[in-house]
A and B are shown apart, each in its own frame.
Chain A
């Protein structure tokens, strides 16, 4: 049995989305910018898709929701344009980000830091949450931008975006939020939350890969990152990804509908699954359930290194994820686990299960059985659970 529980990494494309995109590959393949009927027939469906995307985040018609190639592009766009417009010109000298942002914010922040911009990295607390007060404390008269994610990819922790938005508005500082893990999981309203810029990506809510978006509030439009043929109102040049836009529109429509219907079911399944996992001895979850997205569990199994756990899960067809250093290309440990800093013995033991509306109870039952088997096998191997003769001066850190 194959079970996909890595939906925070990417999701299956909704079959209805695939059907909606299909005609735009071999039938309606015109370039929307051309002057002929092949172009013209793409305009009404693109407009309809854009309406759905606007509705999904409750954007005003006067605001701009620009379709990009991915969330990484959107995030780069915000930070680099802020650098060009505010930092390089000397009007401001500072930005604020959280220390657990996605690499597309972190690496870009470090890049503009190397070019002379001051960057504050906000810490998370022991529950994995950002405290809005820390934003207020870090703002100076020279702060150009605050960028804090809406929900964290590892823990699912939902950050106090509304409060941060209000603080930024009060101090007249621009506010960007990377909402990649929030769109399609919790209701989003850019108007209600004082958001100036918002990033999201279709493939996280059952849309196609290669389609991201950046919302920009009216009057706060950024200079373009891509110069060229002035598509997307001149905000982002490049031939429109017509099937991608259609796909994102349909995926957004279905995801927003699902918030009312499927999401409570996902939460219930997640909670039950988590209860069962926590019955296994020496397991730990950091962020409280009511403070995270309904599909995510980040759980530590003491004494079991994350990559080993994934290995055993994968042998049984189960896909999950770990932030363990050993499973990454660069041996860097999970930033969230390091940042929480509660128990460093657990930094390399966290496994993330992320569900979707396609996850079934049967799949979770199977996963639970496999997890139990893996925990037994790997703790049998683990030095954390091993014999030592009396008087042995152990140098392994054993937390119990």
Chain B
């Protein structure tokens, strides 16, 4: 934010020299035919990923030695932007002379890092990380084809943010450990959602099974359920963190359990009108009913008793204000 964010450069300014160079002269661009693969004594694997209608597509060609599983040659063709072409090229390069099993472990982050000019400066702007994911997916596709297994079997865990490769397990854990409540906080802690932003909420560039907002909602509901359970069991509660509705409920319960009986015995009662946060204080507005209304101790003894019980049971910051 601030000065640097006011006048943005173009996305091209953030491409590394390597990305620009690969865009101009991709090294591994091309095709391998069945005949060429056979001449090399290998098996041809052709895998596709993406679609023109989505903005990027890649076709990966491998020649694999069937005895050793080593990728003897690797080429690509790609429909896409500069990042898509450069990262497809880098991906094809990284596959060479690895076994298929090793190649599957290459991630889009490896590809992005391989295109950096200096180790600490990303090779593409954040929103372009997305374009390198395709390069990762197509490897899995090719390997699945070669090994005759399902592509999903390579994915050990569910990935929510593909750009930063953050898993569902990690996200759930980090949200709970740090009590995160916003997507910005998630990005700060995990980098998830900081790149193409598709995983934040529905309606982004790509459709997802689960979004960061879903995870926040899940945690929020979990907290609410916990408070409600704790209340029902009369256990300790964090009054300050509750929603207004929860506060109303819990205050009413404390009054029911400790005060109302005494008031009714004297022919009166009380009701809670509202609860408002007032700086440090939590102000509870009440109204006396029946005999309590106009009773001499309503503003003194009875009031202190009500206030003290609420302070003791719920929060020292409570003030009770009769009107």
A binding-site residues for B, Cβ under 8 Å:
303-308, 311, 314-315, 324-327, 329-333, 344-349, 380-390, 392, 394-399
- Contact between chains at A308 and B52 (CB < 8 Å): no
**In whole angstroms, how far apart are the Cα atoms of A387 and B77 in the complex?**
9
Given known pairs A382-B77, A387-B33, A389-B44, the reply for A324 and B57 (CB within 8 Å) is no
Contact with A along B49-64 (1 / 0, CB 8 A): 1111101111100000
Partner of A326, one of B26, B32, B56: B56
What is the CB-to-nearest-CB distance from B231 to chain A, in angstroms, rounded to a whole number?
A: 35
Main secondary structure of the interface of B (DSSP, over half): mixed
Q: Are A397 and B52 in touch, CB under 8 angstroms?
A: yes
A residues less than 8 Å from B53 (CB atoms) = 344-345, 347-348, 397
Q: Which of B8, B77, B131, B205 is A381 in contact with, Cβ under 8 Å?
A: B77
Chain B nearest Cβ from A243, distance in angstroms: 22
Chain A residues within an 8 Å CB radius of B52: 303, 344-346, 348-349, 384, 396-399
B24 touches A315 (CB 8 A): yes
Find the residue from B26, B53, B130, B131 having the highest chain A CB count within 10 A.
Answer: B53
> Could you say which residues of chain A place their CB within 8 Å of the CB of B49?
395
Q: Which residue of the partner chain A has the closest CB to B31? A: A387
| B34 at the binding interface (Cβ < 8 Å) | yes
Given A303-B79, A305-B84, A329-B11, are A389 and B34 neighbors across the interface (CB < 8 Å)?
yes
B318 in the interface (beta carbon within 8 A): no
A301 to B235, CA, bound (A): 68
Check: B281 CB closer than 8 A to any chain A CB.
Answer: no
State whether A383 touches B24 (Cβ < 8 A).
Answer: no
Q: How far is the CB of B17 from chain A (nearest CB, A)?
A: 14
27 inter-chain pairs at a CB distance below 8 angstroms, sorted by A residue, are A303-B79, A305-B81, A307-B81, A308-B23, A308-B85, A311-B82, A315-B24, A324-B55, A326-B56, A326-B81, A329-B11, A330-B197, A331-B127, A331-B196, A331-B205, A332-B205, A345-B51, A348-B56, A381-B77, A382-B79, A383-B48, A383-B57, A386-B31, A389-B33, A392-B46, A396-B50, A396-B79
**B51 and A395 contact, CB distance less than 8 A:** yes
B83's closest neighbor in chain A, by CB? A326
Inter-chain contacts of B29 with A (CB < 8 A): 380-381
B54, closest chain A residue (CB): A348
A386 and B197 CA atoms in complex are apart in Å by 31
Known: A383-B78, A396-B79. 14 other contacts (CB 8 A): A306-B81, A307-B81, A325-B55, A326-B128, A331-B204, A331-B205, A348-B53, A348-B56, A380-B29, A384-B79, A388-B59, A389-B34, A396-B51, A396-B57
A307 contacts which chain B residues (CB < 8 A)? 81-82
Contact B23 A326 (CB under 8 A): no
On whether A333 and B48 interact (CB within 8 A), knowing A381-B29, A381-B77, A384-B79, the answer reads: no
Interface residues of B in 259-310 (CB under 8 A from A): none
CA distance A345 to B54 in the complex (A): 8
Contact of A311 among B23, B77, B204 (CB under 8 A): B23
Residues of A contacting B84 with CB < 8 Å?
305, 326
Query: Could you tell me if B11 and A327 are in contact, using CB atoms closer than 8 angstroms?
Result: yes
Complex formed: what's the CA distance from A373 to B195 in Å? 33
A345 to chain B, nearest CB (A): 4
Instruction: Assess the A396–B33 pair: CB atoms within 8 A.
Output: no
Minimum CB–CB distance from B26 to chain A (whole Å) comes to 6
Task: Tell me how far the C-beta of B27 lies from the nearest C-beta in chain A, rounded to whole angstroms.
Answer: 12
Nearest A residue to B53 via CB reads: A344
For A345, list chain B residues within 8 Å (CB).
51-53
Task: State how many residues of chain B have any CB contact under 8 Å with chain A.
Answer: 43
Nearest-CB distance from A239 to chain B (Å)? 23
How far is A398 from B79 in the complex, measured between Cα atoms in Å? 11
**Main SS of chain A's interface residues?**
loop
Q: Are A386 and B59 in contact (CB under 8 A)?
A: yes
State A324–B131 Cα separation when bound (angstroms).
13
User: Which listed residue, A344, A381, A396, A399, touches B48 by the CB 8 Å rule?
Assistant: A396
> Does B80 count as interface, using CB distance less than 8 angstroms?
yes
State in angstroms the CA–CA spacing of A330 and B77 once bound together. 25
Pair A383/B58 contact, Cβ less than 8 Å: yes
Pick the contact of B82: A308, A331, A380, A399 (CB < 8 A): A308
Contact A329 B57 (CB under 8 A): no
Chain B hits for A390, CB < 8 A: 34
Of the candidates A314, A381, A394, A395, the one having the most CB atoms from chain B within 10 angstroms of its own CB is A381
Is there contact, CB below 8 Å, between B81 and A383? no
Which of these, A305, A314, A380, A394, contacts B80 with CB under 8 Å?
A: A305
Q: CA–CA, A388 to B33, complex, Å?
A: 8
Bound CA span A332–B198, Å: 11
Do A324 and B81 have beta carbons less than 8 Å apart?
Answer: yes
CB neighbours (8 Å) of A395 from chain B are 48-49, 51
Contact with A along B14-32 (1 / 0, CB 8 A): 0000000001101001011
Find out whether the CB atom of A308 lies under 8 angstroms from the CB atom of B80: yes
**A315–B55 CA distance with the chains assembled, in angstroms:** 22
Chain B 66-89 near chain A by CB (<8 Å), digits 1 or 0: 000000000011111111110000
Q: Are B79 and A383 in contact (CB under 8 A)?
A: yes
1/0 per residue, CB under 8 A from A, across B179-211: the answer is 000000000000000001110000011000000
Q: Which of A305, A314, A394, A399 contacts B55 (CB 8 A)?
A: A305
Q: Chain A contacts of B76 at CB under 8 A?
A: 383
Instruction: Determine the chain B residues whose CB is within 8 A of the CB of A399 once the complex forms.
Output: 52
Give bound CA distance, A329 to B197, whole Å: 11
The 9 closest A-B pairs by CB, nearest first: A326-B81, A307-B81, A344-B53, A386-B77, A387-B31, A383-B77, A345-B52, A383-B59, A331-B205
- Compute how far the CA of A38 lies from the CA of B196 in the bound complex, rounded to whole angstroms: 53
Which residues of A lie under 8 Å from residue B48 when comparing CB positions? 383, 394-396
